[in-house]
Structure formats: C-alpha cells, structure tokens
Structure 1
Amino acid sequence: MKRLIIPAVTAVCVFLSACATGTGVIDDFFTTLIGPSADQGAENTGAPVEKTPPKARNSGKTTGPAVPDRLPVLASVSARQTRTYPRPASYEAAYAYRNDTADPQVRRLPQQIESLRSKDPAEYVRQAAAYISKNSKDPFDKVKKAHDLVALTIRYDAASFLANRNPPQDYESVLKSKLAVCEGYSNVFKKFCDELGVDAEVVHGYGRGVGSSPFIDENPADSNHAWNIVFIENAGYLIDCTWDAGNLRGSSFQADYTTDYLFLKPEYFIYNHFPEDPRQQLLEKPLSPVAFSRLPFCRPKYFEIFSAEAGDFAKVLRAAGKTELEFSLKDGFTPSVEVYDETGNKKLEHRSFVQKEGDLYRAYLSFPAAENYMVRFFIKKESARAAESCAEFGVISTAASGVRYPTQYTSFGPGISIISPLEMPLVKNQTYEFKIRAEGKEIIALLYNRNIIPLEKDEAGNFFIEAEIPSNTKEIMIGAANNPRGRYEGLVTYEVK
C-alpha cells in the first residue's frame, strides 16, 4: 500500500470541467433496505406523524394542481351499476402512444376550428372531433389526440382553487375560459370522446396530489379528484388529463405536458388514484381504502424505469440515524436521491450519496436528528436537461447522525464508485485510504490547493493511495484525467475540518 504525506505546496494549475449535480429528487423505489436500522414491508409501515392538513384539499400531482373538496357526481349511478369494466388482454397498442410527445396535428389545429372555441363551444368540439377522426389511425390515436388537445389548451385554474371558489366546470364554460380544475378537464375530455364515438365516463375519487404526504393520514373515501375511463375494443383504460397538463408551482400553474397518465396500467394508476366505485380501479382484486393508504408514493416513471416492485416497501420506514437502499434501473437513466425535512420544502445538503456498485445502485442516507424526514428520488434521462421526481417516502429517524457525504459532480457516472472514504468531513492530520473504482479513466488524482497527487492502480483495477490530510486545506477533490497534463474532471469533493 502506498502511503503519502500530502505536501503543503506544489504549484500546478488545475482545470475542472465539472459542476455539481442538480437538485434531482426521487422517492420510493429500491429493491432492498440494508441493515437492521431500516424497516420494510406493507405490514410494517411505521407510525405516521400526524400533521395538520392544508386548508385546501388537492387533486394534482405531488407538485401539481388541486381541486375543491367535493365534486358533483355527473355520471349516472344507476348506469354504472350495470357497467362492466373488462381489462385489455394486452397494453401494447395503447402504450405505443405513451411517448411524452404531443401530437403535432393537435398542436396545429386549424384556425377556423380554434376560432369557434369561445363563441360556439359545441361546434368547436364537433369540428375538432371531425378533424381528429380524419387524421387518426386507430381508436387509441383518437383518444391520444383528444387527451393532448385538452392537456395542451386548458390551464389549471389555480386562482379559483386557492381562493376556494367553484366556477362552473361544464365543458362549455371551460372551453370559453380555457381554465379548469380536474372536474372541468374530465368533462371536456368526455365531451370530445362522445363526439368521437368513444365510450367514456368521468370517475370521481381520491387523488394523492398537492398537500399529500406519507406523514399525513389519508381518507381515500373522501373524494377530491376526477379523471376518466375510456373503453376501446371493449376494454377499459384510465386517463388523467389534469395531471398530464402540468403542475402547481406555489400559487401559479406551470404547463408541463406528459403522457404519464394516458392509458397507464391500473396496477400503477392505483398508487395515486382511488375511485369511489371499486370497479373503476380496473383491478382483478380491488384494493380496500386501508390497503391503498399503505401504498408508497410512486409516480408512473418509477414503474417504467425501476426494477423493484414498489408494493414491497412501506411509505414510511424507520432508521437509526443512517440507512442504505439498493435498487436497479434501466440503462440510459441516472438516479439521484435527496433528503428533505418533514414538510418536503427544505433540502438537507450532503445527506445522501448514490453510486452504482456492481449491478445495483446503492443510496446512502443520513439524518441529522431524531426527527421525521422526506426522501425523494429523481431520475434523469441521458438526453434530458433536468431530473424528474418519480417517488418519495417518509423516514422516522430514531437517532441523530453527524455523517455527511461528499459532493458529487456530473462526471460521476455509473462507472465510478467510491470505496473509501465515503463519509465526511475528513479530519486534518489524520490518514485515510482513498480508494476508487473508475472505469475508462486513465488517471485519478487528489486535487487540493493547486496540488495534483496521482493515485496508483492495483491489480483489480482500483485506484488507491494512503494519505495524511494536510492542515492547510479546507477541501480535497478527487479528479480524473486522460493524461498527466490533461484537464481534470471533478468527481467528488470532501470537506476538511
């Protein structure tokens, strides 16, 4: 083992081409909880901490729109009593349209049709439906175009919701104002489906949206949301145009089109939506309100990207100051994990660290006090600009931990993993073994005070050095380069005290 006393002065210019990773968050999506400090399983969800619910009930995504407390039930109860809700034999045809891409023909709706929206909503729907039918390949394409038209052209009525006002939500009023809460979105979508000859109905129930939290007791029997079911080839499909339109950011609506809740399989849709009529779950064995309340908070992207079964884990777990999680995910995505305070509003810096170890990712988490915390998972596609939240869970920490983790940079990819030291702060004048796996990297070095100290490479391909931390530095970075005089990319940075 090579041991090094890091010198106090060596003047070498270092260029860093990395920047710290963003505040991506992700939630509840791991395969195994490691160690005795973590509880898991649907039967052991921990004791949620009660918190006063917000005055306004919600219906949006976790960052999305909310709706008034009680919505009028428009569908005929007697009609639903005789309705059957068969599932499709395959979702392949429907899932081909779940591409997060708005239909270009809907984006370019002819002006002569668009001009009818406010002055003659009924004729607008009739002509828009005729245009959609003419340009559709199959029933799924028709429904996708109707979904897109609603999600793209109607804005969530944040002002009315926050003021606890209840403006009319019939399709004509919504089309004229271009504003709606979930009831209005659902009514307009159903009207388009009626005109297109697609059997559809409005569903009322409970949605986990703004204000929802693993620490707040839920009452799924108290409806606060509306969405739709369509029937194509005698099979039911679930759709939520409201949540595919965008999010509430503070007091304003932010358009953010997706197809997350378009034709989503019932076994995933149920994680956020609990209908009044159990048959509208479209599950072979409908969940009870109690079973729904135990489900972790997972959004559709979780089920597309992570390999773990979300139902295997509690929405609240316990930890004694620290815990570790393992999970796997599809190639082409980068995960990140963040720890927040109980409200989910304040992120705690240096309390999480994620890296790939073998075939699995491992997330290291620490908690500064014996309190409640929110942990969120983000996922970032390689081609995407920003990370996207896909799950969250609560943690009840029974002890405090002073452990913090190094800053990770964008160059810290799946081929990089820190073997030691993983925790910080590092202590001045103490000796540490630095050991790192860095696939595809020619040179790994310690960087501090304009010094570059190369690490050696062992037979297993790991870079290593034993070094004493100097007394005149406040931080040490591990960097990578392709040649000794090349530019170094920052991988991680440790605080020194």
Structure 2
Amino acid sequence: MGESFDRFLRDTLNIPEYGSERARQSESTPIESPDASRENGDQAHPVAADSDEKRAADFSLSDNPENRADNLRFRNGVPDPRAVDALGRYSPLFQSDMDEGIEGLAEYLRTADDDPMVQARLLHDVLALHLSYDYRGFRSGNVPTQNPISVLRRGTAVCQGYADSFSYIGRKMGLNVITVSGYARGIGSGSFAREDPSESNHAWNVLTVKGSRYIIDVTWDSDDYSTDYLFLYPEQAIYSRLPSRPGYQFLAEKISTSEFTNLPFIRGAYFDIYSTVPSNLGRVMQLRDYSSFALPGVSDYGFSAHWVDSAGVRSRNGIFIEADSEETRVYLAPESEGEQTLQIFAKSGTTPESRFIMELGIIAARVEHILLPELYSGYYEGSARLLSDPAMDMRSDERKTLRIHIPGAEDAFVSLQGSRRITMSRSDNHVFSADIPCAPGIQIFAKLESASRYTGIIGY
C-alpha cells in the first residue's frame, strides 16, 4: 500500500516525486522552495509551484518595507480563539474525510477575516496547536512521509511537513505563500558550536502581502505554543536562518555564509522588544577587561542574564543590565576566563516568565578588581534604577557616590558588611545617594511604600 498510496498523494496534491524531472524543474523555479531540504533524514516533498503569472510576478525576489504591517499586532503569544474553534470543527475530519476537512478548514479561515495577515495568523495557530514535532523520527532518522495529508492525519511532523502544510492550506485560502529551505540555528546550535550554513537542515514559509515579506516558522512555534517566529521581517529572520538561495533572504544587500556565521544568536522573542540588532555585536567577542555594550532603549521590561561556561555551569555574577527608554546597557565583568556564553532574558510586566532573547559568545579575561551589583527583589518591586556607574573598583582607595532612584521608597540606607549603617540622603524626586568606600559586602535597603519593613534593593 505504501508506494501506491504515496503516488496517490502526489497525484492528489500535485506534488512532484522527489528526484523526478518535474521535481527538479519545480526546485529551479523562483516561486518555490529552492531545494529539497533534509532535517536529519527528513526528505522534502515540495508543494508544487503555482504556474499563475501573477504569483510569479508577486514573488520577484524583493521586499517592500514601505507597505509593511506592524508585526507586533499579531505576536501576542496567545492562540486566536477562532483557530481553536476551527480545530474543534475540522480536525476530526482529518481522520474520516480529509478532503472535506481541509477544504472546510481553508474556507473557514479565509472567511474569518478579510485581512490576509489575520488569515495567515489563524493558519499558523491551527498548525502550531494541531501538530507536534516528531522527535522520535528526527532522532532515529526514520522520518515518515511529510506531505500535508499524511502530516495532518498523523498529527506529527518535522519542519518540511509543517512548512508544506502551511503552503498547501494557505494557497487554498488564497494566500501568497511559499516554502523555503536552508540552514537554521536549531537544536545543537550555539555561539561556540560548529556551524555550516551551506548544509540545508530546515524549512519554513514566506508570506507576501502588498509586496512585503513575512517569515513564518510554525515548527519553532509549536509544541510549547508561541508567536516568536510569526511574521518576522527579513532583516530580523536572518539572525536565525540562511536560505539556500540568496534571493530568498529578501534583503536589499544579501549576506554570505561567512557573514551569517558571524551574526549573533538572536531569538525570535527579541523582536517583541526591539526591532533592530546593533551592528557592533558579533557571534563571538573578545573581552579583556570590564566592559559594556548597548541595546536599543525600552520601557517596562526587566532583564536578567547568566554566564554558561564550557562545562555547562551557570553563574549570574559579573553581569548587570539597566534599561530605560534611551538604551539598554549591559555591563560585564566576568569572574573566570576563557570561552563563556552570555545568555540574556527579558520579562515584561504582563508576562509571567522571562523569555530567552539572545546569546553572545565571550572569550573573556578574568576581571578580579570590578564588582557589579546583584539585584534583589526590592529593586523590581520598587521600580528602582541605579543612576551611578554600577562598577565597584576594588583597586581604588577612593570613596564612591552611589545614586539610585527608588520612586516607591520612603527612605533608604547602606549597610557596610553588616556592621555599619549609612543613611542615604533623599531628593524630592526620590533619588537616594550616599558616599561609600569601594569594598565588598555593601547592600542598599529601602522602606517601600507598599511594605512595612525594609527590603533589600542591591548588593555588592
């Protein structure tokens, strides 16, 4: 049954047989997946190229940023209730009447909203909720057929199945969408890991609306549902993937494989906070002394970070991050030398957990003379912000003026090694300051308006 059933599926879906002349022609057309990718044994079944001349014209290899929709409108991390309803209506038919299930689903999603961006978001949610990643097949190398009908019936897929299912149903909905394959920084990737972008290991989708391109990766948004990889702009998606064909980068200036390998590891969640990545950041950077770098400014976000050494041991020491509307400044004073990965997390007031947004490889020298503060819970509860240089230079015999804004505090004091207490002066706008010696064992405590006792703010 297997061979005849696969042939039936290919004929039904108009999918060219892998390796056939028609498949090779399909791979060479500029409106289809550039090549048949493999993901540890995942053989591609490219969705057939639409021969419509308008689709070919729309998929000239360019982008039109002027017509872009604000992608943050759709990246809220919560499934659309209409997608949940659609799954309840049509997923049972994937087992009994596949044609009716797919046609009904496509029509339901198409008529749910006039905006093709909303329609694509609904399809993203349906597939992210219905499909689970086939880890067993991926790890064993025995990946079953990935054509859309088999994937939807089975409920599991690897990247090619996710992407081709999105293209297949999306085209039935009238969406201008293709499947693209190439290299992606997925499982096993890291700042110090070997990377060969010439090897195709992943597949994803590109949606075109009014000439603007939006990258969609349902694979990476499924299982633990997210919208981290929904509607990324080309200049955002390039940090996590490199298409096999340079034209599918959709960038005004294409980048080479060597340029890609030097880009920092930026997660999709980063672009919920920042729209761009500073050009001075690289995948691996040398750090010879106490240093800092800046990300764009942002409000209403708190940040945390830790080091991960070559043995996988984590440490939060020697990192301090301060953010305001003008910039997010990351201060670094590593306590050990050698190769370390800096992982940065962000949390907004509306999300229950911190989200992993980026990592940098750091080849560090040990910085013994600098202490950076540890932030206590009161720092966040009191909406505090350190105004003075956070570094405490242990080589200095001079005193240091600590200045900190704690809008929710009545008064504050400095504890010196637990044996001496210095009251901090307070300005009218709740800026507290004190002159202190440069020494370890220093802590700031404040009495917040919401608390009956003093709360720890920061410590050295």
Equivalent in the alignment of 2:101: 124
Instruction: Tell me if structure 1 keeps the 8 A contact 2:159–2:202.
Output: yes
Higher helix proportion (structure 1 or 2) = 2
CA distance in 2: counterparts of 1:439 and 1:290, whole angstroms? 46
SS of the residue aligned with 1:220? Answer: coil
The answer on whether the counterparts of 2:42 and 2:138 sit within 8 Å (CA) in structure 1 is: no
Superimposed CA distance per residue, residues 85-111 of structure 1 (whole angstroms, 9 cap, x where no aligned partner)? 342332126653333332111112264
Query: Could you say which residue in structure 1 is the equivalent of 2:44?
Result: 72
Matched, 1:416 2:385: yes
Local SS of the residue matching 1:92? coil
Match of 1:389 among 356, 371, 388: 356
Give the number of the structure with larger relative contact order, counting CA–CA contacts within 8 Å between residues 6 or more apart.
1
Answer whether contact 1:444 1:479 (CA < 8 A) is retained. Answer: yes
SS class of match (2:293): strand
Name the CA shift for 1:465/1:198 in 2 (closer, same or farther; >3 Å): closer
Give identity over the alignment, percent: 25
Deviations 1:136-172 (A, max 9, x none): 2322221111111001111111222223321221112
1:457 is aligned to 425
Q: What is the number of residues matched between the two proteins?
A: 412
SS of the equivalent of 1:160 reads helix
Measured on the aligned residues, the alpha-carbon RMSD in Å equals 3.5
Q: Counterpart of 1:169 in 2: which secondary structure?
A: coil
Residue 134 of structure 1: how far off its partner (Å): 2.7
Could you tell me which of 414, 422, 438 is aligned with 2:405? 438
Q: What do the CA deviations read for 1:211-264 (whole angstroms, capped 9, x no partner)? A: 11222342211100000123334554321111122xxxxxxxxx3322222221
Amino acid at match of 1:202: T
Q: Residue type matched to 2:162 in 1?
A: Y
Describe the shift of the 1:147–1:420 C-alpha distance in structure 2 as closer, same or farther (beyond 3 A): closer
Which residue does the alignment assign to 1:162?
139
CA distance in 2, matches of 1:368, 1:87: 45
Look up the match of 1:365: 332
1:327 to 1:150, Cα distance in 2 relative to 1, 3 A: same
1:181 positional shift: 1.0
Report the alpha carbon displacement of residue 133 of structure 1 after superposing the two structures with TM: 2.1
Greater mean deviation of Cα atoms: 279-288 or 200-209: 279-288
Quote the residue 2:9 is aligned against.
none
Q: TM-score, normalised by structure 1?
A: 0.73
Q: Does 1:274 align with 2:249?
A: no
Deviation, structure 1 residue 319: 1.0
Rounded Cα–Cα distance in structure 2 between residues aligned with 1:468 and 1:313: 31
Q: How far apart, in 1, do the equivalents of 2:341 and 2:374 lie? A: 20
Question: Which of these residues, 352, 374, 393, is aligned with residue 341 of structure 2?
Answer: 374
Paired residue for 1:195?
A: 172
Measured against aligned partners, the alpha-carbon deviations of 1:253-304 in whole angstroms (never above 9, x if no partner) come to xx33222222211111111111112221112222221222221111233344
Q: Distance in 2 between matches of 1:334 and 1:468?
A: 27
Counterpart of 1:206, as a letter, is Y
What residue number does 1:39 align with? none
Structure 1 segments of 4+ aligned residues over 4 angstroms from their partners:
75-83, 356-359, 420-426, 430-434, 447-452, 458-461, 465-469
Once the two structures are superposed, residues 4-42 of structure 1 have per-residue CA deviations (whole angstroms, 9 ceiling, x without a partner) of xxxxxxxxxxxxxxxxxxxxxxxxxxxxxxxxxxxxxxx
For normalisation by structure 2, the TM-score amounts to 0.78
1:401 aligns with 2:401: no
Distance 1:311 1:76, change over 3 A: farther
Helix, strand or coil for the counterpart of 2:167?
helix
* CA positional deviation for 1:196: 1.1
> Are 1:86 and 1:282, in contact at CA under 8 Å, matched by a contact in 2?
yes
The 2-side partners of 1:178 and 1:169 are apart by 11
Check 1:226–1:458 CA distance in 2 against 1; reply closer, same or farther (3 A cut): same
Quick check: 1:477–1:490 contact (8 Å CA) kept in 2?
Answer: yes
Unaligned runs of 5+ in 2: 1-37
Aligned pair in 2 of structure 1 residues 315, 190: CA closer, same or farther (>3 Å)? same
Change (3 A) 1:198 1:468: closer
**Structure 1 residue matching 2:75: 3-state secondary structure:** coil
